[in-house]
Amino acid sequence: MTAHPLSARLRGPAPPNRGGEARRPKCVRIGLVALLAWAVIVLAPCALAVDNAAKGGIGGIDNGTMQYGDGSGQARISLFSVDLALVKQARDPSGNVLPDAAPVSPGQDLWFVLYVDNPTAAAATDVRLNDQLDETAFAYLPGTIEKTVVPSGTSDAGLWAASWTPLSDALGAPDDEASALDAGGPAGVDRISVGAVSGQPNAGVDLPAGSRIAVRFRVRVK
């Protein structure tokens, strides 16, 4: 049995092996798509400042007859639009996070953890996650989807130790917020979704202010 590296980078599927070509060492590639209704998912959070001001006056606009009538001071506000970060982790059965390119062996069980952290003072509504599994590398283990909500910024150890709620594999609301689906190709589940994802509609998911939502499920390396 030969171990092969696990790559957690966001990359496309590997090209098929053709007759006469030397086969490279097997590398697990994780495909991941996520949608948020009001924020763009990126690899790291950032903030964009937006200023907005009002002008006024008596008998005219910005004529010196009204304090802050020139749009300064208390007539100006600054808002910050924050991109929320989506993270995907591979963990061993004990919950230890595996580094990029960590060696794994066929038949080994792993956990995949997806989470979105909302450090802002506003709730994120209609959160949607969609994880496309590479069926050539992983087999989903039925009935293993679980969800938790923890404070924003929770450590990896704290996240794993949280209280997790089982979710069913069944498709569609109002069952619960997640489902596991065979989207075609080789037999077996290859798409895990959370929230009201198009084509795999589950119950809606909202992320409270100052919170992190995480979903985990178990797979077996092929």
Region of 185 (left: φ > 0; alpha: ψ -120 to 50; beta: rest) is left
Global pTM reads 0.71
125 and 202 fall within a common domain: yes
* Residue 96 confidence (pLDDT) above 90: yes
What is the number of domains present in the chain? Answer: 2
Q: Judge if 17 and 62 occupy the same domain.
A: no
Closest to 30 measured CA to CA, from 117, 96, 92, 114:
114
Going by C-beta distance under 8 Å and a sequence separation of 6 or more, which residues neighbour residue 210? 118, 119, 120, 121, 151, 152
Residues 71 and 136 in one domain: no
Where is 102: in which H helix or E strand? strand 102-104
| Percentage with pLDDT > 70 across the chain | 77
Pick 192 or 31 by higher pLDDT: 192
Q: Which domain holds residue 216?
A: 4-45+84-221
56 and 112 both lie in a single domain: no
Confidence of residue 48 (pLDDT cuts 50, 70, 90): low
Considering the chain, what is the average pLDDT of its residues? 80
Mean pLDDT of 29-48: 36
Residues 121 and 187 in one domain: yes
For residues 134 and 159, state if they share a domain.
Answer: yes
Are 124 and 27 in a shared domain? yes
Q: What is the pLDDT of residue 187?
A: 81
Among 60, 78, 96, residue at a domain's last position: 78
Better-predicted residue by pLDDT, 196 or 1: 196
pLDDT for the residue 114: 96
Segment 141-154 mean pLDDT = 96
Q: pLDDT at residue 43 above 60? A: no
Q: Where are the alpha helices (DSSP H) in 10-149?
A: none
**Is pLDDT above 60 for 45?**
no
* Gyration radius of the chain's alpha carbons: 23
- Each residue's pLDDT tens digit, 54-87: 999 999 999 999 999 999 999 999 887 778 889 9
- H or E stretch including 191? strand 191-194
Same domain, 67 and 170: no
Question: Looking at residue 61, what is its pLDDT?
Answer: 94
3-state secondary structure of 75: helix
Q: Cα–Cα distance between 190 and 164 in angstroms, integer?
A: 22
pLDDT of res. 184: 78
Q: What is the CATH number of the domain that holds 211?
A: 2.60.40
Are residues 141 and 60 part of one domain? no
Same domain assignment for residues 56 and 115: no
pLDDT (0 to 100) of residue 141: 96
Asked if 20 and 117 sit in the same domain, the reply is yes
Is the per-residue pLDDT at 16 higher than 70? no
> Same structural domain for residues 215 and 114?
yes
* pLDDT of residue 120 exceeding 50: yes
